[in-house]
Amino acid sequence: MIDSILEKMTLEEQVSLLSGADFWTTVPVERLGVPKIKVTDGPNGARGAGSLVAGVKAACFPVAIALGASWSPALIRQMGTALARQAKSKGAAVLLAPTVNIHRSGLNGRNFECYSEDPMLTGELAVAYIEGVQAEGIAATIKHFVGNESEIERQTISSDIDERTLREIYLPPFEQAVRRAGVMAVMSSYNRLNGTYTSEHHWLLTKVLREEWGFDGIVMSDWFGSHSAAETINAGLDLEMPGPARDRGEKLVAAVREGKVEPATVRAAARRMLLLLERVGAFRKTPDLTERAVDLTEDRALIRRLGAEGAVLLKNDGILPLAKTSLDRIAVIGPNAATARVMGGGSAQIAAHYMVSPLEGIRAALSNANSISHSVGCRHNRLIDVFKGKITVEYFKERGFKGAPLHVETVDKGEFFWFELPSGQLEPADFSARMKMQFVPEESGEHVFGMTNAGLARLFVDGRLTVDGLDGWTRGENYFGTANDEQRGAVMLEAGRTYEVTVEYEPSITNEDGINLIAVRFGVEKPLGDADIEAAVETARNADVALLFVGRDGEWDTEGLDLPNMRLPGRQEELIEKVAAANANTVVVLQTGGPIEMPWLGKVRAVLQMWYPGQELGNAVADVLFGDVEPGGRLPQTFPKALSDNSAITGDLAVYPGKDGHVRYGESVFVGYRHHDTRAVEPLFPFGYGLGYTRFRWSEPRLSASEMSSEGVIVSIDVTNIGDRAGSELVQLYVRSPKAKVERPDKELRAFAKLALQPGETGAAILKILPRDLAYFDAEAGAFRAEAGDYQLIVAANAADIRFVIDLPSPSSYLQPPSY
């Protein structure tokens, strides 16, 4: 069928398929019955085509690092299925997920959006995710291919990675997704790879992806990440996104006419686009692009379950789980207590159906007898608190706020990130909007207004210009580097008085880099100080237990910028110290998108890492704290004692954050635990670490063979829950290699199993390894090589808790070309 359509297509029609129509849809060819389809982010929900922050509501699932911590392909497969339903509710046929870049530095703004520092764990989970999504007829888009491990200069930087490192660490998740899950789409990354944009990288997109791995789906660019007509298509990039065409369209037609691109190349790319449409069923039934909010009980339950399954208990001296009945007075403290921080920032944001804060979750769990007191203590926000309340927005046809508004609407939050304007008569490049709201301070004193804008904006309080986002506007880091840094203005306000706040917004006049985002975010807050820390300490002092909710939020853990360090922002460390000094029963609940340093660790009784687990956050927290469910998570990323112990933080700025437009992956394959183990750098918490509420006994491992052969070897271990509560245990299998001609990591994860067991129950962890699992990539030979010799299998609970070391000779050597 698609070939007969292709036959009838003109060159222009074929080319039209190779750019988006707009931000989220492809170009139809009505004459031949080729419909348009919609794509949507991804990865922790399906947002739809509306605003990044205020579109149609969607189910908000845990972020990828929380899924990485679950070590549960089965649950992630279920989540994939649920996500496919969500994508359908938004009229989308393609989900822009999963993100499988590797946790390299711990400072990547998108660390939260990636599963792990380990390629094997990442690959397993990505395969499960993709299988779940695609089984429902929705295409998954694995991203960002490849070398996008940081947000610094992300549109241009060259990730300089040697081939061995690529083959062993950064490519395997993509390879698994192609070979095992048949992923239908791949998104190239923004960055260059060894000097060439990945969207123009023939070796990457054609030789490795298609020829070696047999990929037959489409490659699309990251948004505005393709920069040429001939180079991209000749390299193997099918779809330029978003649309309308920038470097394709007429330019690509001309490139064909001039002989720079073969007609067959265009035809092959167009064919792959048609094949995608066929695979998602777009020819069977014309896609209905309407968006609906579908909030299902089963999604709620799965999200809640995943939240607890990814929660990592890092420390517990026995205080957890808390007994609901024996606690009279509970203090719930911290900047993450009453505000639900459910997801990271950037393109992964969605408008969640609802968000349960920890305070709400705890209240719901305890219902009656106990007294719960709350105090915020301090702030940690990077940007001023966003304005919440009724805002009237008037949209005008042109710049300058002239005449009567064309459209008026009311919203409840001071953040606008438009992909579509509310009226078809409004031009994104030439409109203006005036937002009017009232602000009534609760307390008297200095308040700070803040605003960041992609475009030009001014904020007035009672008619006085208070924040100027117009004069002297310069590009900063917000909104993917298209907005200015937050501008602020302080004013003295009186409690109870009504202030009229107005924001005037216009798109910018220039259009640098072709990226013309239209967005503005504004807010107001009363700075917190010593008195607020004191109030929190007082709250803690008067309680039986102090639950301290600290961490970051999606303004820190976000696409568009890396983190400045691995410390808790604001005065949170001080807050922890002071609360712990006032209450000996202090439990810290952390929410970050990656590792942090914990100088206060010795002073608190327990630490629970919750990450950003989606809309059921508070319920999942309460489930774990009160022991209704065990904390099922184990770290997917090493937590170093200090940032300087991290494998990418070598002191050489060329290795991180990069220098002169290049970031050199100089640590090569020694990423995460591969670095800590090999270089004997003791971590704060090792890879795979996490406590539960019960205990297990492991049997001696049994091996299916005493030496490696092409059949592989199966290792089985019986695990018995010898405690009196249900719980789960992670069994990891690493390989340690004899000396090779290259330096190899001390050990490398090759298989794992997570068993959920009732008290007294025994289960078997069955772990299979193949000759390829013994191998490293021999760049000279261009193949995976395992020399003959004495290998060891290491059976462990985490990278630092080794239970058994088994000798495994491999009498023959193996050489496997990448295109096996």
Residue 143 within binding range of ligand BGC, rule CB under 6 A: yes
Which C-beta is closer to ligand BGC: that of 49 or that of 66?
A: 49
DSSP H/E element including 577: helix 572-582
Minimum gap (Å) between residue 119 Cβ and ligand BGC: 19
Q: Which listed residue (20, 28, 42, 658) binds ligand BGC by CB under 6 A?
A: 42
Which C-beta is closer to ligand BGC: that of 199 or that of 583?
A: 199
Which C-beta is closer to ligand BGC: that of 554 or that of 690?
A: 554
Strands 487-493 and 606-609: unpaired
DSSP H/E element including 574: helix 572-582
Minimum gap (Å) between residue 207 Cβ and ligand BGC: 24
Q: Which listed residue (9, 29, 41, 101) binds ligand BGC by CB under 6 A?
A: 41
In the chain, the amino acid numbered 90 is: K
Which C-beta is closer to ligand BGC: that of 189 or that of 583?
A: 189
Which C-beta is closer to ligand BGC: that of 149 or that of 222?
A: 222
- Helix, strand, coil tally for the chain in percent (to 5): 25, 30, 50
Residue 201 within binding range of ligand BGC, rule CB under 6 A: no
Closest CA to 39 of 199, 181, 186, 169: 186
Three-state secondary structure string covering 746-807 = CCEEEEEEEEEECCCCEEEEEEEECHHHHCEEECCCCEEEECCEEEEEEEEEECCEEEEEEE
With a CB cutoff of 8 Å and minimum separation 6, the contacts of 259 are none
The helix/strand/coil state of 191 is coil
What is d(CA 14, CA 273) in angstroms, rounded to the nearest whole number? 9
Minimum gap (Å) between residue 142 Cβ and ligand BGC: 11
**Sign of the torsion formed by the C-alpha atoms of 597, 600, 601 and 606:** negative
222 is a catalytic site residue:
yes
What is d(CA 582, CA 538) in angstroms, rounded to the nearest whole number? 8
Closest CA to 103 of 774, 667, 761: 667
Which C-beta is closer to ligand BGC: that of 158 or that of 375?
A: 158
Instruction: Determine contact, residues 275/5, Cβ cutoff 8 Å.
Output: no
Which C-beta is closer to ligand BGC: that of 418 or that of 549?
A: 418
Minimum gap (Å) between residue 143 Cβ and ligand BGC: 5
Looking from the CA of 12 toward its CB, the CA atoms found within 13 Å total 2
Fill in the per-residue mask, 664 to 693: x = in contact with ligand BGC (CB under 6 A), - = not in contact: ------------------------------
Per rule CB under 6 A, count of chain residues that contact ligand BGC? 9
Closest CA to 407 of 435, 437, 439, 438: 435
Three-state secondary structure string covering 528-569 = CCHHHHHHHHHHHHCCCEEEEEEECCCCCCECCCCCCCCCCC
What is d(CA 189, CA 678) in angstroms, rounded to the nearest whole number? 30
In the chain, the amino acid numbered 187 is: M
Instruction: Determine contact, residues 559/480, Cβ cutoff 8 Å.
Output: yes
Which C-beta is closer to ligand BGC: that of 64 or that of 79?
A: 64
What is d(CA 374, CA 549) in angstroms, rounded to the nearest whole number? 11
Minimum gap (Å) between residue 348 Cβ and ligand BGC: 7
Which C-beta is closer to ligand BGC: that of 259 or that of 514?
A: 514
Which C-beta is closer to ligand BGC: that of 42 or that of 594?
A: 42
Minimum gap (Å) between residue 480 Cβ and ligand BGC: 6
Catalytic, out of 41, 118, 160, 222: 222
List phi, psi (to 5°) of 816. Answer: -125, 115
Q: Which listed residue (174, 223, 387, 693) binds ligand BGC by CB under 6 A?
A: 223
**Sign of the torsion formed by the C-alpha atoms of 303, 304, 306 and 311:** positive
Interactions with ligand BGC, residue window 472-491 (CB under 6 A): 480
What is d(CA 659, CA 796) in angstroms, rounded to the nearest whole number? 39
Minimum gap (Å) between residue 494 Cβ and ligand BGC: 42
Residue 556 within binding range of ligand BGC, rule CB under 6 A: no
Q: Which listed residue (118, 131, 160, 222) binds ligand BGC by CB under 6 A?
A: 222
Structure tokens at 404: 């009567």
Which C-beta is closer to ligand BGC: that of 64 or that of 753?
A: 64
Minimum gap (Å) between residue 113 Cβ and ligand BGC: 8
Fill in the per-residue mask, 495 to 514: x = in contact with ligand BGC (CB under 6 A), - = not in contact: --------------------
Minimum gap (Å) between residue 606 Cβ and ligand BGC: 35
Minimum gap (Å) between residue 473 Cβ and ligand BGC: 22
What is d(CA 697, CA 718) in angstroms, rounded to the nearest whole number? 8
Minimum gap (Å) between residue 69 Cβ and ligand BGC: 21
Residue environment code for 260-288, b if the CB has 16+ CB neighbours within 10 A, otherwise e: ebeeebbeebbbbbbbbbebbebbeeebe
What is d(CA 19, CA 188) in angstroms, rounded to the nearest whole number? 14
Minimum gap (Å) between residue 64 Cβ and ligand BGC: 12
Q: Which listed residue (34, 37, 96, 356) binds ligand BGC by CB under 6 A?
A: 96
In the chain, the amino acid numbered 490 is: A
Minimum gap (Å) between residue 725 Cβ and ligand BGC: 40
The CB-nearest residue to ligand BGC is 347
Which C-beta is closer to ligand BGC: that of 151 or that of 645?
A: 151
Which C-beta is closer to ligand BGC: that of 75 or that of 276?
A: 276
Instruction: Give the Cα-Cα-Cα angle 23, 235, 20 (nearest 5 degrees).
Output: 15
List phi, psi (to 5°) of 453. Answer: -145, 135
Instruction: Determine contact, residues 140/97, Cβ cutoff 8 Å.
Output: yes
- For 696, other C-beta atoms within 10 Å of its C-beta total 19
DSSP H/E element including 412: strand 407-413
Q: Which listed residue (347, 375, 637, 798) binds ligand BGC by CB under 6 A?
A: 347
**Residues found near ligand BGC in the complex (CB under 6 A):** 41-42, 96, 143, 222-223, 347, 480, 559
Residues tagged active-site: 222
